[in-house]
């Protein structure tokens, strides 16, 4: 099915099942320990051996020699995989061949070997005995230093590296009120609960990997290409995933090495990256340096806005697209953005929840707070005055929906924004109290997605798609969609996800998965409705599906009875025309935060958080709320705690465990509230939904930083906002 005109009224609009707060149907399996994760596939894989990955001990250089004798002689060892014996690995994706180092070492903790043994302990013990001699070279590990000669990033999925409208330089210099400030955001790790993990088994030349991935089809394609085997000989299975945040978008070392190890050992092999390996072996959100210039008239209208960002990555890498939102969020006739990319020898930089916008909003929304103060305007009012209903770089493109001003207004009222005092003026005993806010913005992406649906004689509809549920609630919204389309209660729908034998879906990433994957299920169900109507002998346009029955033209039958003599199956894929080019599809929100700062120790406590979101139809308000409060929590971590500390001499992230890479715990987050505006976006898909999970993090950290400023009068432009910076 092709979606190329705005959606009409359709069965989803009935909202009998879709749009209702619904418990996660996978929840019980997860909390009772019966959901099988990639490392625990005892149900399907007998007698696996264990792989233990050895990470490179240098940040840049090469391997001079590897001595495996002691490791190979160690108890229980079945095989040791290195670049010398792995066969030729081909480049797929962002160079998957580099998942195994040798002879070059591109970054610290890049895999240099994997030991396979009978038990985990034996593999770990033997891994200690792998002797690698390195020739270390000086690497480039310091973004601040590399920034000086960093070139423009080139174009990519983010569009052009630089944009320019009007005369930014001239108008900015002449503007009556000006801000020119530089902000920094640190490297951050995904730190998801479940590590990267894979169980691999070869049956002849066929490879099955049970793995933890957000993108089943990408993994299947990339592992086939990397190992030079046929795509049809690879099966990837990933039904349950303990968090991803973008760190599991791509094939990683666990999957590749499990496949190589299983081949070498002649046995199924399972591999989990240890927590200390994850931060340097896999990907991370790259640090940024961002310069923002805003020039405004005295009435608060922005005349010129410029945003430049510097980030670093491995050779052939990509920029952190931190200027994305500035291209679209506020009005102003004279504009410029630019992304510069330094080559660094740190681990690969790549997507982490709201890549680009999350760190971009961390900077832009402090800049807006600073500018409002210079103008003597309330920060909510300043944003309101600079709303735009069209793409400010291309005014011929309207936003499909844009309720930023509504989010700001509702949030201000619900949060008691009018109680905000001047900086440093609100005191409760020893606590300095502050309120802060920020806009939220994240683009909405939609990608093709397929599904298969099957009605059986029990009247149950089974949905099959390679879509993943990374803790987001995909199972539930997919079941809700099929139930709505087929006129069934939720418990008459079964959902099977995360298997490359199923139709290719959008996968989970970029907050595109919810809307895109359900739209694919919608398309398959349209076909199933047609097939069911045909079976009843009525025109499908007239058929009504309710409570397990279909009826039209005086005929009526249960779905079960129509499938009595054989399953009725349908498969389709939702594809998209250029609606997303004609209309700028984005999601909007507002974050409000109250903090208290200890006047003696400068300890910062968040007291209250509120998010107001406008993100199309909310398919399941319960799981959507969970996504947003999770994102707000992650934003609080970005504001106050998270920072991968770079050892600039040797080139690695020092704090590579969860003891020293701090993320918020329950005690850090006392009260959160989420409000969804009633919105449907007919240009996004027949679901009229958009993404929510990444919108929820965008702007949060700036709202916290702005609240800290309001409490203390100290402006911190360098994340995380830790107490030492306030002193
Ligand atoms: Mo998202 S960072 O694209 O999983």
pLDDT by residue (tens digit) across 670-692? Answer: 899 999 999 999 999 999 999 99
Q: Which atom of ligand 1 approaches the CA of 508 most closely?
A: 4
* CA–CA distance, 240 with 471 (Å, rounded to integer): 8
Q: Which atom of ligand 1 approaches the CA of 248 most closely?
A: 4
* CA–CA distance, 366 with 21 (Å, rounded to integer): 34
Do 421 and 440 lie in one domain? The reply is yes
Q: Of 519, 554, 580, which marks where a domain is finished?
A: 580
Asked whether residue 129 is domain-assigned, the answer is no
H helices of 73-130, where?
Answer: 120-127
State the distance from the centre of ligand 1 to the C-alpha of 446, rounded, in angstroms.
13
Write down the pLDDT at residue 157.
Answer: 83
Do 515 and 651 lie in one domain? The reply is no
* Three-state helix/strand/coil letters over 400-420: CCCCHHHHHHHHHHHHCHHHC
Residues 222-240 have a mean pLDDT of: 98
For 607, the enclosing helix (H) or strand (E) is strand 604-614
In terms of C-beta density within 10 A (0-12 exposed, 13-18 middle, 19 or more buried), how is residue 31 classed?
exposed
Determine contact, residues 461/493, Cβ cutoff 8 Å. Answer: yes
State the distance from the centre of ligand 1 to the C-alpha of 453, rounded, in angstroms.
27
Question: What dihedral do alpha carbons 420, 669, 610, 608 form, nearest 10°?
Answer: -30
Write down the pLDDT at residue 159.
Answer: 86
Asked whether residue 197 is domain-assigned, the answer is no
Do 726 and 593 lie in one domain? The reply is yes
Please identify which residue in the block is written with the tokens 């990639």. Answer: 38
State the distance from the centre of ligand 1 to the C-alpha of 465, rounded, in angstroms.
19
Asked whether residue 666 is domain-assigned, the answer is yes
Residue 231, number of CB atoms within 10 A of its CB? 12
For 93, the enclosing helix (H) or strand (E) is none
Quick one: which of 441, 291, 439 has its CA closest to 365? 439
Residue 160: active-site member: no
Residue nearest to atom 4 of ligand 1 (CA): 246
Q: Which two tokens stand for residue 333?
A: 């006739």
Quick one: which of 427, 411, 572 has its CA closest to 485? 572
Q: Model confidence over 156-193: pLDDT tens digits?
A: 888 899 999 999 999 999 999 999 999 999 999 999 99
Which CATH number belongs to the domain containing residue 477 in this structure? 3.30.365.10
Determine contact, residues 166/335, Cβ cutoff 8 Å. Answer: yes
Q: Which residue out of 218, 694, 696, 697 has the highest number of ligand 1 atoms within 8 Å of its CB and is therefore the one to mutate?
A: 694
Asked whether residue 306 is domain-assigned, the answer is no
Write down the pLDDT at residue 158.
Answer: 84
Do 645 and 496 lie in one domain? The reply is no
**What ipTM was assigned to the predicted interfaces of this complex?**
0.96
State the distance from the centre of ligand 1 to the C-alpha of 692, rounded, in angstroms.
12
* CA–CA distance, 474 with 541 (Å, rounded to integer): 29
Q: Model confidence over 421-462: pLDDT tens digits?
A: 999 999 999 999 999 999 999 999 999 999 999 999 999 999
Determine contact, residues 570/464, Cβ cutoff 8 Å. Answer: no
Q: Is residue 208's pLDDT more than 90?
A: yes
Q: Of 580, 615, 637, which marks where a domain is finished?
A: 580
Quick one: which of 717, 608, 697, 710 has its CA closest to 372? 710
Q: Model confidence over 453-512: pLDDT tens digits?
A: 999 999 999 999 999 999 999 999 999 999 999 999 999 999 999 999 999 999 999 999
Do 693 and 683 lie in one domain? The reply is yes
Give the contacts of 427 (CB within 8 A, at least 6 positions apart).
433, 599
* CA–CA distance, 317 with 167 (Å, rounded to integer): 31
Would you give the end-to-end CA distance of the chain in angstroms? 60
Dihedral of alpha carbons 710, 711, 716, 717, sign:
negative
Residues 531-548 have a mean pLDDT of: 97
Do 548 and 645 lie in one domain? The reply is no
Asked whether residue 703 is domain-assigned, the answer is yes
Do 592 and 714 lie in one domain? The reply is yes
Mean pLDDT for the chain overall: 97
Q: Which residues, judged by CB distance below 6 Å to any ligand atom, belong to the binding site of ligand 1?
A: 214, 244, 246, 249, 351-353, 355, 509-510
Q: Which atom of ligand 1 approaches the CA of 355 most closely?
A: 2
Q: Is residue 516's pLDDT more than 90?
A: yes
* CA–CA distance, 679 with 352 (Å, rounded to integer): 27
Q: Which residue out of 190, 349, 510 has the highest number of ligand 1 atoms within 8 Å of its CB and is therefore the one to mutate?
A: 510
Q: Which two tokens stand for residue 233?
A: 């000989």
Asked whether residue 678 is domain-assigned, the answer is yes
Residues 599-605 have a mean pLDDT of: 97
State the distance from the centre of ligand 1 to the C-alpha of 432, rounded, in angstroms.
36
327: region left, alpha or beta (phi > 0 left; psi from -120 to 50 alpha): alpha
Dihedral of alpha carbons 661, 144, 633, 701, sign:
positive
Q: Which atom of ligand 1 approaches the CA of 351 most closely?
A: 2
Q: Which atom of ligand 1 approaches the CA of 249 most closely?
A: 4
* DSSP assignment of 559-595: HHHHTTTS-EEEEEEEEE-SHHHHSB-EEEEEEEEEE
Q: Which atom of ligand 1 approaches the CA of 245 most closely?
A: 4
CA distances to 530, 568, 682 from 536, rounded to whole Å, are 10, 12, 31
Residues 404-413 have a mean pLDDT of: 98
Q: Which two tokens stand for residue 404?
A: 């930023």
The overall pTM is greater than 0.95: yes
State the distance from the centre of ligand 1 to the C-alpha of 351, rounded, in angstroms.
5
Q: Is residue 219's pLDDT more than 90?
A: yes
Residues 296-303 have a mean pLDDT of: 98
Q: Which residue out of 243, 246, 471 has the highest number of ligand 1 atoms within 8 Å of its CB and is therefore the one to mutate?
A: 246
Determine contact, residues 86/95, Cβ cutoff 8 Å. Answer: no
State the distance from the centre of ligand 1 to the C-alpha of 56, rounded, in angstroms.
27
Do 461 and 545 lie in one domain? The reply is yes
State the distance from the centre of ligand 1 to the C-alpha of 80, rounded, in angstroms.
33
Residue 36, number of CB atoms within 10 A of its CB? 17
* CA–CA distance, 303 with 324 (Å, rounded to integer): 19
* Percent of the chain as helix, strand, coil, to the nearest 5: 30, 30, 40
> For the chain, what is the domain count?
2
* DSSP assignment of 504-536: P---S-TTTHHHHHHHHHHHHHHHHHHHHHHHH
Please identify which residue in the block is written with the tokens 């207004």. Answer: 409
Give the contacts of 103 (CB within 8 A, at least 6 positions apart).
62, 63, 83
Q: Of 580, 610, 640, which marks where a domain is finished?
A: 580
Do 548 and 563 lie in one domain? The reply is yes
H helices of 416-488, where?
Answer: 474-486
Asked whether residue 127 is domain-assigned, the answer is no
Q: Which atom of ligand 1 approaches the CA of 352 most closely?
A: 2
State the distance from the centre of ligand 1 to the C-alpha of 493, rounded, in angstroms.
28
Q: Model confidence over 572-583: pLDDT tens digits?
A: 999 999 998 999
Give the contacts of 394 (CB within 8 A, at least 6 positions apart).
none
Residue percentage of the chain with pLDDT more than 70: 100
Q: Which atom of ligand 1 approaches the CA of 510 most closely?
A: 3
Do 472 and 601 lie in one domain? The reply is no
Residue 682 three-state SS: coil
Asked whether residue 198 is domain-assigned, the answer is no
Residues 356-380 have a mean pLDDT of: 98
Do 469 and 542 lie in one domain? The reply is yes
Write down the pLDDT at residue 76.
Answer: 98
- Strand 269-272 to 234-237 pairing: unpaired
State the distance from the centre of ligand 1 to the C-alpha of 248, rounded, in angstroms.
8
Query: Bridge-partner residues for 496, per DSSP?
Result: 464
* CA–CA distance, 521 with 482 (Å, rounded to integer): 7
Do 420 and 525 lie in one domain? The reply is no
Of 370, 464, 642, 694, which residue is the catalytic one? Answer: 694
Q: Which residue out of 249, 474, 697 has the highest number of ligand 1 atoms within 8 Å of its CB and is therefore the one to mutate?
A: 249
Q: Which domain holds residue 550?
A: 2-35+446-580
């Amino acid at each position: 099915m092709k979606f190329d005109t705005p959606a009409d009224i359709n069965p989803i609009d009935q909202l009998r099942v879709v749009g209702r707060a619904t418990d996660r149907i996978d929840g019980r399996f997860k909390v009772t320990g019966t959901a099988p994760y990639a490392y625990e596939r005892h149900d399907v894989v007998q007698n696996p051996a264990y792989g233990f990955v050895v990470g490179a001990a240098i940040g840049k250089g090469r391997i001079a020699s590897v001595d495996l004798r002691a490791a190979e002689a160690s108890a229980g060892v079945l095989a040791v995989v290195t670049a010398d014996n792995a066969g030729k690995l081909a480049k797929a994706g962002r160079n998957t061949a580099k998942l195994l180092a040798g002879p070059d070492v591109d970054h610290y903790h890049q895999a240099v070997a994997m030991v396979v043994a009978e038990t985990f302990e034996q593999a770990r013990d033997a891994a200690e005995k792998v002797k690698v001699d390195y020739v270390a070279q000086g690497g480039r590990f310091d973004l601040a230093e590399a920034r000086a000669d960093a070139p423009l990033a080139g174009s990519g999925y983010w569009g052009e590296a630089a944009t320019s409208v009007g005369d930014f330089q001239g108008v900015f210099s002449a503007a009556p009120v000006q801000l020119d400030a530089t902000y920094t955001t640190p490297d951050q790790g995904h730190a998801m609960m479940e590590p990267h993990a894979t169980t691999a088994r070869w049956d002849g030349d066929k490879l099955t990997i049970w793995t933890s991935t957000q993108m089943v089809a990408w993994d299947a394609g990339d592992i086939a290409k990397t190992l030079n085997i046929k795509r049809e000989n690879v099966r990837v299975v990933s039904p349950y995933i303990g968090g991803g945040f973008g760190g599991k978008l791509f094939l990683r070392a666990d999957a590749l090495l499990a496949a190589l190890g299983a081949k070498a050992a002649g046995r199924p092999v399972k591999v989990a990256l240890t927590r200390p390996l994850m931060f340097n072996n896999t990907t991370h959100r790259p640090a940024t340096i961002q310069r923002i210039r805003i020039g405004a008239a005295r009435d608060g209208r922005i005349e010129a806005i410029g945003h430049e960002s510097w980030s670093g990555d491995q050779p052939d890498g990509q920029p952190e697209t931190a200027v994305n939102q500035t291209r679209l969020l506020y009005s102003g006739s004279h504009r410029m953005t630019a992304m510069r990319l330094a080559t660094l020898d740190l681990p690969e930089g790549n997507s982490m929840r709201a890549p680009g916008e999350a760190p971009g909003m961390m900077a832009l929304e402090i800049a807006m707070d600073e500018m409002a103060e210079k103008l003597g305007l309330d920060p909510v009012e300043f944003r309101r005055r600079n709303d735009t209903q069209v793409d400010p770089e291309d005014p011929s493109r309207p936003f499909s929906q844009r309720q930023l001003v509504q989010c700001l207004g509702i949030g201000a009222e619900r949060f008691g924004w009018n109680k905000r005092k001047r900086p440093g003026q609100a005191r409760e005993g020893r606590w300095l109290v502050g309120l802060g806010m920020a806009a939220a913005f994240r683009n909405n992406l939609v990608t093709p997605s397929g599904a298969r649906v099957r009605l059986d004689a029990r009247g149950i509809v089974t949905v099959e798609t390679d879509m993943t549920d990374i803790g987001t609630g995909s199972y539930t919204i997919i079941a809700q969609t099929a139930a709505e389309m087929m006129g069934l209660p939720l418990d008459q729908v079964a959902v099977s996800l995360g298997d490359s034998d199923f139709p290719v879906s959008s996968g989970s990433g970029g907050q595109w998965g919810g809307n895109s994957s359900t739209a694919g299920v919608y398309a398959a169900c349209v076909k199933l409705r047609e097939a069911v109507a045909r079976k009843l002998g009525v025109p499908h346009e007239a058929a009504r599906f309710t409570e397990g029955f279909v009826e039209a033209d005086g005929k009526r039958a249960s779905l079960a009875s129509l499938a009595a003599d054989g399953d009725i199956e349908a498969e389709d894929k939702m594809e998209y025309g250029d609606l997303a080019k004609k209309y700028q599809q984005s999601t909007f929100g507002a974050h409000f935060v109250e903090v208290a700062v200890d006047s003696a120790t400068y300890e910062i406590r968040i007291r209250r958080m509120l998010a107001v979101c406008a993100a199309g139809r909310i398919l399941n308000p319960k799981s959507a709320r969970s996504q947003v409060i999770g994102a707000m929590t992650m934003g609080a971590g970005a504001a106050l705690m998270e920072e991968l500390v770079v050892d600039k001499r040797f080139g690695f992230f020092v704090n590579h465990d969860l003891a020293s890479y701090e993320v918020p715990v329950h005690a850090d987050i006392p009260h959160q509230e989420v409000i969804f505006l009633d919105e449907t976006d007919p240009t996004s898909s027949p679901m009229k939904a958009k993404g929510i999970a990444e919108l929820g993090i965008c702007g949060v950290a700036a709202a916290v930083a702005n609240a800290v400023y309001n409490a203390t009068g100290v402006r911190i432009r360098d994340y995380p906002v830790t107490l030492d910076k306030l002193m």
